[in-house]
Structure 1
Amino acid sequence: MPEPPDTPTRRRFSTSERAALYLAADGYCTRCGTDLESGWHADHVTPYSLDGPTDVLNGQALCAPCNLKKGSKQLMQLRQWQRRAVDAFYASDSENFLVSATPGAGKTKFSLYLAQDLLQRGIVDRVAVVAPSDNLRVQWADEASAAGLPLYPVAPGDSDGYNKAGYTGCVVTYQQLLGTGGSLMRHAMRRRTFVILDEVHHAGDNKSWGEALRTAVEPAVHRLCLTGTPWRRDATSPIPFVRYDTDGTVAVDYAYEYGAAVADGVCRRIEFHAYDGEARWTDPARVRRSTIEENGKSHVSVEFTAKLGANMPDEDVSAALDTVYEPKYAWMPSILAQADAMLTEVREDVPDAAGLVIAERQWLAQGYAELLQQITGTRPPVVVSDPKADPGSRIAKSQIDQFRRGTGRWIVAVKMISEGVDIPRLAVGVYASKTQTPLFYRQVVGRFVRTRPNEEINARLIIPAVPELMRHAREIEEELRHQLEIAAEEDAKDREEGGGSSGQGMLDFRTPLSASESVFDRAILQGDEVSAEELASAQAKAQELGIPRAYAANLVPLLRAQASQAQVVATAQPVPQPREAEIPHYRREKMLRQAVETLARKVAYRRRVQPKDINIDLLRAGHPKRSKATVEELEAMLKTLTGWAAEA
């Protein structure tokens, strides 16, 4: 029996596939544009040696000289944003270049590609990477090796590793550049060097780090700075090799943010679920006097009570969070129970999906692990970041690596997994940190947005209903909605044209008294706030339709449109209303069109083709142009794309 066309071991394109590739190229070489003559090559876009499939979606028609020139030295395949960032780097003609890309978008792969390209062009002779932690130092070396770029991870105290024979370069941490490490790095740069500064904002953790970095890598030919989120200037700890705007915000040379990544299918969409609750505590340092009549006598009360969602001074926010985060009070046990129920829903579709709790302190993390053991029957691992203890960091890395490869439900961390750690199966998170800065918040969000093949799920992050954290969530979701609208406009245009601390905490005289059970306040999705009632209705509708409850939040806009339409019908007069008044129908059409745009981009990403190619495939499948499609036609289009996504 002949092999089926999609068998991965089949290397040669069939006669019909060659014909399809020739016709798709209009008889011209895809690379140089010359006429294809006898002996032209049907070539793999992603090389067969790298598990590229033998089918027309991964094929291209090349003339013989172009295919032979391509050879085995082909660099890794890039996403569209990565190719644009490479072009922007060369166009800038600057020694320093800052890229801000959302976690999970592929900053490491982009950087290693650029390093390989600079080496092949003869612009540099070696590569050096500076990372924020020992864990990331080893991770960079591993990923560089997998990409064919041997970089040596220099251990603390190893004076020979900075220019080790047999390696193209080295990987060190910012801390290693203090003292002799900086001079050793500078000495190694007698040869032309390309330097990658990962999460460069860490160079501002203290003034000495920035000064050491400047001295160590100043001789480099090019310096590529990477970050997940732009930051503002810290006058006490200036960060070298970056520019700032007049308002003190870092000036980015190329940006690829979360909204664009979701629109391109590079990252998952995330739902923010905010929970309120009441906290009670005492604070002898701040005596609030109020008269309480009890048995006819007046008393002085030093007790404070507040709801998380209320507007209150920063000091009260900190105290309220300290209280509700206590494992012994009702808020955290109820939060963890809700989170585990969410994880169970997700695991119906993704059996190895996992959850992460970000804790404020080590003793709190241990308490959460005990609570999760009571809920699930299994005690999750607890990882602690301690940069002063190298052995401890190695233990933490081992725990994280084991969890990444396993199928366990939960992992608890004390700000250990805020950046740089890749665990793509994380799908549910609990934010139990007092840190409210946008940088840290987005780093945590980045742990849950990494995609895997053949997964169509929304990640979920549970947060306290504190106004500042809610504001960060809204900003991220508004950014997503804006990028989706831009993507839709670009596709339409193409069609028209034909184309905190890890220790035990500080001395604190406040005394937490109690915390109520958590109360679901609202979810934030696509910039809209979803109430508890709406989410419950959506979950019931999902169950009725045979859709996993994990997708319930996506149904809310449709249910709103249906409810509005029903209300219009119920209150309408017997006289027929003109179609122009049917606003709910338009909203439904707009929602479906956005869903089609998003899914088409995801299919394009999975097939490694351009979005316009998916548009052509839809037309060939008998669907009309999206700009002219009716609601029913859009629904049919969405069904077709869903099938393609499952096959890709």
Structure 2
Amino acid sequence: MLDSLRIWQQNCIAQLIETYHYQSDALVLATPGAGKTIMASYVAKQLIGDRKIDYVVCFSPSKVVSHSIRTTFEHVLERPFNGQLGALGVSRTYHSMSNIGELISNLSMSRVLVIFDEIHHCAGDGESPANSWGLSLLSTIQNLATYTLSLTGTPWRTDSLPIPLARYSDPNGYIQCDFTYDLLEAIEDNVCRAPYITAIDTNQVVVRKGHESHTYQSIQDLLENGDVSYRMILRQPEVIKYMLSLSIQKLDALRATSKNAGGLVVAASYAHALQIQAILSGHFGKNATIVSYKQDDSPELINRFREDSSEWIISIAMISEGTDIPRLQVCCNLTDVTTELYFRQILGRILRMTVDQTAIGYMFILAEPDLVGYAERLNQAVPDSYHYERTDRLIEGIESADNPSSNNQSNQDNSQSAFSDLDMENIFESNFDELINHPTLAELSMSSFKSRIIEFYQLS
């Protein structure tokens, strides 16, 4: 059965079984899309076969991922994995830890392997802070479990918070993993696609507030000196149109040879997602599904998108780590979350290899300084794989309706925006033109976009 696994998975399983001879916990770092869940299920299968454990408990960040884990473990173990009588285990979310008293009691009397998928979520993920009671329960579970296996695809943290249950090799916080499989290895093994990241900048941005106007030479200059938030830039209709046009052009080209290729747009909020959906439909004639953690039917919508051949899905904090939609190959990143962890999570969604698609995943981002820094840091792993490209294509100046309160509100932080304050009922009743051309806080004009291309891996 192990012969059907990838070489890295076979090597990792052998290393973990050896590790469990002298310690009870292990940490595996494997790049997103490499197949960590399959690997973990075979570790569980071998420990059960060796009579080292009787039961498996998996924790993961979301219901979608939890369901996927359950399906995988049921297939590999050939037994139910629903926590009921006769099952060999159960798959739960980290959020469910607030009600696991029975599990804590059972751990002290049973031989159990506990698997923590994407363990770094337990220290906060850039969208939510660390959960103190969750960390306490994690420590309790680790002490009571026969074995623990922590999995991560993104071990670094720009907020300097440590990953729970991880051992550190030095005071600087470098993680000592029991097995590591990085993106470059996965690309060379044809396990993952090579990322191709395009950062879009502008040569000129004009901001008018009242009778005053100021010109800025780049997005970085605008953010640092223009008293304008990144969220406000993301909501400019012309910016959305330009970013979508590049993404659509790339996906259309890919679908010419692979009808199943899909595209992901990551939005900043539900209102922002509606604006993007309206532009996709009204300006480009493209349909898109919106999924959000606030929608109860989002798991079903994601599963439907995974199985069909539709083009676009728009996500708000929903399609991240562990959400397996291999046909996603293009990503238009329009979220205002600019942590390195989230950047890598999103990138991982377009890197899963498929048989009938090309070996490159394409991400389009704005040249926000942090995002560019993360992309360039990826690029350092493979020398000479970066080049810079300008475009002469102009975009229309962005005109906004008069807003009497703009002068007082223009310097609000990233947690607020004019668009997020809209009445949701009015959004649903608005026509496409109103959504596409929604006014913003200040009059903003951009021209002469330029592109920075970051190729993480140069295919031969």
TM-score (norm 2): 0.80
Equivalent in 95, 106, 114 of residue 195 of structure 1: 114
> In the alignment, what sits opposite 1:95?
24
Q: Deviations over 1:184-206 (max 9, x none)?
A: 11122221001110011122232
Aligned-residue offset at 1:347: 0.9
Pair 403,515 (structure 1): closer, same or farther in 2 beyond 3 Å: farther
Aligned-residue offset at 1:170: 1.0
Which SS does the other structure have where 1:522 is aligned?
A: strand
Larger RCO, structure (CA 8 Å, separation 6 or more): 2
Aligned-residue offset at 1:254: 1.5
> In the alignment, what sits opposite 2:454?
524
> In the alignment, what sits opposite 2:239?
331
**Inter-partner Cα distance in structure 2 for 1:188 and 1:397:** 30
**Inter-partner Cα distance in structure 2 for 1:85 and 1:524:** 31
Pair 401,226 (structure 1): closer, same or farther in 2 beyond 3 Å: same
> In the alignment, what sits opposite 2:194?
269
Give the partner amino acid of 1:241.
L
> In the alignment, what sits opposite 1:322?
231
Q: How does 1:33-48 map to 2 (within 5 A)?
A: none
Q: How does 1:367-446 map to 2 (within 5 A)?
A: 367-386=275-294, 392=295, 394-446=296-348
> In the alignment, what sits opposite 2:441?
511
**Paired-residue identity, %:** 27
Q: Deviations over 1:143-188 (max 9, x none)?
A: 11122343534xxxxxxx4xx311001111111111xx23211122
Aligned-residue offset at 1:439: 1.2
Pair 87,194 (structure 1): closer, same or farther in 2 beyond 3 Å: same
Pair 517,144 (structure 1): closer, same or farther in 2 beyond 3 Å: farther
Equivalent in 97, 103, 110 of residue 39 of structure 2: 110
> In the alignment, what sits opposite 2:96?
176
Q: How does 1:616-627 map to 2 (within 5 A)?
A: none
Give the partner amino acid of 1:451.
M
Gaps of 5+ in 2: 125-130, 386-413, 423-439
> In the alignment, what sits opposite 1:255?
180
Q: How does 1:338-349 map to 2 (within 5 A)?
A: 338-349=246-257
Aligned-residue offset at 1:341: 1.1
Equivalent in 3, 9, 12 of residue 85 of structure 1: 12
Q: How does 1:560-599 map to 2 (within 5 A)?
A: 595=460
Q: Deviations over 1:252-290 (max 9, x none)?
A: 22111111110111001121112113545579xxxxxxx
> In the alignment, what sits opposite 1:491?
none
Q: Deviations over 1:493-524 (max 9, x none)?
A: xxxxxxx98997589xx924224257232211
> In the alignment, what sits opposite 2:127?
none
CA contact (8 A) 1:308 1:320 kept: no
Structure index of larger Rg: 1
CA contact (8 A) 2:208 2:444 kept: no
Equivalent in 210, 213, 223 of residue 135 of structure 2: 210
Give the partner amino acid of 1:371.
I
Pair 170,373 (structure 1): closer, same or farther in 2 beyond 3 Å: same
Matched, 1:447 2:366: no
**Inter-partner Cα distance in structure 2 for 1:501 and 1:453:** 41
Equivalent in 302, 306, 313 of residue 216 of structure 2: 306
> In the alignment, what sits opposite 1:358?
266
CA contact (8 A) 2:205 2:222 kept: no
> In the alignment, what sits opposite 2:166?
242
CA contact (8 A) 1:183 1:216 kept: no
**Inter-partner Cα distance in structure 2 for 1:116 and 1:518:** 57
Aligned-residue offset at 1:78: 1.9
Pair 175,464 (structure 1): closer, same or farther in 2 beyond 3 Å: same
**Inter-partner Cα distance in structure 1 for 2:157 and 2:286:** 42
> In the alignment, what sits opposite 1:614?
none
**Inter-partner Cα distance in structure 1 for 2:225 and 2:184:** 33
Q: How does 1:524-563 map to 2 (within 5 A)?
A: 524-526=454-456
Pair 333,325 (structure 1): closer, same or farther in 2 beyond 3 Å: same
Which SS does the other structure have where 1:250 is aligned?
A: coil
> In the alignment, what sits opposite 1:626?
none
> In the alignment, what sits opposite 1:27?
none
Give the partner amino acid of 2:285.
G
Which SS does the other structure have where 2:197 is aligned?
A: strand
Which SS does the other structure have where 2:235 is aligned?
A: coil
Gaps of 5+ in 1: 1-73, 154-160, 284-298, 387-391, 484-499, 528-553, 555-593, 596-648
Pair 406,370 (structure 1): closer, same or farther in 2 beyond 3 Å: same
Which SS does the other structure have where 1:176 is aligned?
A: helix
Aligned-residue offset at 1:438: 1.6
Select the structure that is richer in strand: 2
Pair 117,465 (structure 1): closer, same or farther in 2 beyond 3 Å: same
Select the structure that is richer in helix: 1
**Inter-partner Cα distance in structure 1 for 2:29 and 2:89:** 24
CA contact (8 A) 1:149 1:168 kept: no
> In the alignment, what sits opposite 1:467?
369
Which SS does the other structure have where 1:323 is aligned?
A: helix
**Inter-partner Cα distance in structure 2 for 1:325 and 1:234:** 23
CA contact (8 A) 2:33 2:352 kept: yes
**Inter-partner Cα distance in structure 2 for 1:118 and 1:442:** 32
Give the partner amino acid of 1:172.
R
Aligned-residue offset at 1:211: 0.9
CA contact (8 A) 1:309 1:466 kept: yes
Pair 128,151 (structure 1): closer, same or farther in 2 beyond 3 Å: farther
CA contact (8 A) 1:337 1:375 kept: no
> In the alignment, what sits opposite 2:358?
456
Q: Deviations over 1:129-152 (max 9, x none)?
A: 011112211111111112234353
Aligned-residue offset at 1:406: 1.1
**Inter-partner Cα distance in structure 2 for 1:360 and 1:443:** 15
Give the partner amino acid of 2:191.
V
Aligned-residue offset at 1:472: 1.5
Give the partner amino acid of 2:60.
A
Aligned-residue offset at 1:434: 2.2
CA contact (8 A) 1:75 1:116 kept: no
Which SS does the other structure have where 2:329 is aligned?
A: strand
CA contact (8 A) 1:101 1:257 kept: yes
Aligned-residue offset at 1:349: 1.5
Pair 142,420 (structure 1): closer, same or farther in 2 beyond 3 Å: same
CA contact (8 A) 1:259 1:481 kept: no
Aligned-residue offset at 1:208: 1.6
**Inter-partner Cα distance in structure 1 for 2:201 and 2:221:** 12
Aligned-residue offset at 1:336: 0.8
**Inter-partner Cα distance in structure 1 for 2:382 and 2:186:** 9
TM-score (norm 1): 0.58
